[in-house]
Structure 1
């Protein structure tokens, strides 16, 4: 494996000055035919289960050649699904071993709406969910030194992996062990997908927060309200969720906040929805004004009634999904209502910082 990677890194850029005839070019034939066989043999991949494929481009030499390992039950193409890939930098200073994702579905679905941010979001969700060591796979991001659309997509879609610089290419044993370990992470991902196809799984990942929040809002309906002293509170513990480890939210504290608001929307009390079958009151939802995802920035709990506002479902969706101007007005109003309470609970934050938190 080492000699194969070393040969590609040291010789590839000398070939791209020639016409693109991959079937006639010796290095190209080696990369397309021999390198996949080397990977298969070195880690004893079952070809009934895995497909190994390399690419030097289509029509023209690619700036970032790659060789991928596909679980056939997930995908057989780098355009969709999830796969392991060796990605070579344009400057050939090194190569990345990456657990990556096909981007065609996201590019098409979010065209014109910054699809790469969605690729990054999927990668972040999987980083939180999958169990792997940063000692094994420290490359939390990758830099292919290329500005082509494909390269930018690979970089945005990277989940976890490791970088091998040319001057410090590991020996075969380490390369083989790294690949075997990443295959185990790949198998974890496959198990997490369950029976979902890749498109449905991506949609599921991108909507995990809303799925879990729906359950949280249901829990609020059922519990008795807490009685929290209006003083700074201890930081809550983390708990494992379908999104990975997250700061724990207490439904009873949220119930305390919506009850204090008399089950009315704090944006506009005339936003009446329907009578809840559980509480017998106007149905509202609880929202943490300072997002719980920022808890690590505070030494006191964000899960306190002073940081939780009561919103009708429409205003709740607006504060998550509206355009910047509308979000600005909603946040500004809620901040003015909660500023003193935030101070009392020891979690005051400048309004400008709160805007940043909501992007």
Structure 2
């Protein structure tokens, strides 16, 4: 396919001649820029028009903003999901950094994860989400599911490698015909539609993380979030609106935001809030004792309140023994922990319009609906 070959043959030369800076002119004489910015997008738009779907999608090519990108791309956005590579999920044609191959991929926004999580956690979340998403699509060989290789050295390219859901790979010496390329695109388009039917505009609807993952992500954010700006910002007081339920693993429920848990752990200085002298073991995340985040009022009771209980004021940092005791211990052993934690948090909860008595709190722990709190 000539349009792909133009990129392989000319992109590095263009980068050198442009001294690493992007050209904003679509009508540039460089064949690589013309293919990425104009001709490949036009070919895909033509295909969408034959399917009577051209108004549903936005097609954009990019060689970077300011600096010439390591991984140039052409994105195809379902407008009901996103119109930007900065969020959501989409089909994207990605060229490898060595200009020897390219991948047509159903993939995810790297930036959306990067802005919320430290790099390590972002990659874990992307891979976990992709692994879930691939179970909801049907696609035949030569397509493949899972991670791809772009020979990437920078975060954006590595993110696309990690976050790939389903893809077609094309080598510079074995390029597809135009008809094959468009047929492959239509296959990914069908998979894209399948995912939209399952989870709407957010792949997070698929993302039922385990308790272990929740604790791991919370600790990572507690250690690194303040240094990277990945924290939550709320007013000093007042109720926080209840977030909408998400469809997770086939049922609608309230998802927990690890950023609130991270803030609570950070404020507790990675200590058990029931007894600061409780020792556990050193966490691999940092050089502090390993602790876990626990919702004092369990999330399963959200319907009883007019404001969100997934907030820092309702989350305590506990050693694993205290945490397990609140989940699995007999009521009489839970009460001393709950009473001490409640007295320390009662005013903070009231500042968020969460009013509860100690008797009501004891009642929440007589029979918990879920181990996820």
The residue aligned with 2:134 is 127
Q: Is the 8 A contact 1:265 1:271 kept in 2?
A: no
Q: Is the 8 A contact 1:142 1:158 kept in 2?
A: yes
The residue aligned with 2:86 is 79
Report the alpha carbon displacement of residue 25 of structure 1 after superposing the two structures with TM.
4.3
Q: Distance between the aligned counterparts of 1:166 and 1:179, measured in 2?
A: 18
Report the alpha carbon displacement of residue 274 of structure 1 after superposing the two structures with TM.
5.4
Residue of 14, 25, 30 corresponding to 1:26: 30
RMSD, aligned α-carbons: 3.0
Q: Distance between the aligned counterparts of 2:178 and 2:34, measured in 1?
A: 22
Q: Distance between the aligned counterparts of 2:363 and 2:82, measured in 1?
A: 47
- Answer with 36-45 or 65-74: which moved more: 36-45
Q: Distance between the aligned counterparts of 1:51 and 1:5, measured in 2?
A: 20
1:209-228 alignment, distance < 5 Å: none
Answering whether residue 133 of structure 2 is matched by residue 141 of structure 1, we say: no
C-alpha spacing 1:113/1:17, structure 2 compared with 1 (3 Å): closer
**Tell me, what secondary structure is at the counterpart of 1:85?**
strand
Structure 1 unaligned segments of length 5 or more: list them: 211-240, 244-263, 287-312, 318-359
Q: Distance between the aligned counterparts of 2:80 and 2:196, measured in 1?
A: 9
The residue aligned with 2:328 is 265
Q: Distance between the aligned counterparts of 1:122 and 1:81, measured in 2?
A: 12
The residue aligned with 1:37 is 42
Residue of 89, 103, 106 corresponding to 1:99: 106
Structure 2 unaligned segments of length 5 or more: list them: 212-248, 252-326, 336-360
**Tell me, what secondary structure is at the counterpart of 1:6?**
helix
The residue aligned with 2:215 is none
Q: Is the 8 A contact 1:106 1:119 kept in 2?
A: yes
Q: Distance between the aligned counterparts of 1:181 and 1:112, measured in 2?
A: 31
The residue aligned with 1:161 is 167
Q: Distance between the aligned counterparts of 1:59 and 1:208, measured in 2?
A: 37
C-alpha spacing 1:58/1:12, structure 2 compared with 1 (3 Å): same
Q: Distance between the aligned counterparts of 1:123 and 1:171, measured in 2?
A: 28
The residue aligned with 1:283 is 367
- CA offset digits 1:36-78 (Å, max 9, x no partner): 1122224536331111111111111111111111111111111
**Tell me, what secondary structure is at the counterpart of 2:83?**
coil
Q: Is the 8 A contact 2:7 2:35 kept in 1?
A: no
Q: Distance between the aligned counterparts of 2:35 and 2:176, measured in 1?
A: 21
The residue aligned with 1:11 is 10
Q: Distance between the aligned counterparts of 2:134 and 2:329, measured in 1?
A: 36
C-alpha spacing 1:207/1:37, structure 2 compared with 1 (3 Å): same
- CA offset digits 1:66-100 (Å, max 9, x no partner): 11111111111111111101100011111101001
Report the alpha carbon displacement of residue 204 of structure 1 after superposing the two structures with TM.
3.0
Residue of 68, 76, 82 corresponding to 2:75: 68
Report the alpha carbon displacement of residue 17 of structure 1 after superposing the two structures with TM.
0.6
Q: Distance between the aligned counterparts of 1:64 and 1:39, measured in 2?
A: 19
State the aligned residue count.
229
Q: Distance between the aligned counterparts of 1:113 and 1:64, measured in 2?
A: 21
Q: What TM-score do you get using the length of structure 1 for normalisation?
A: 0.56
Q: Distance between the aligned counterparts of 1:152 and 1:173, measured in 2?
A: 29
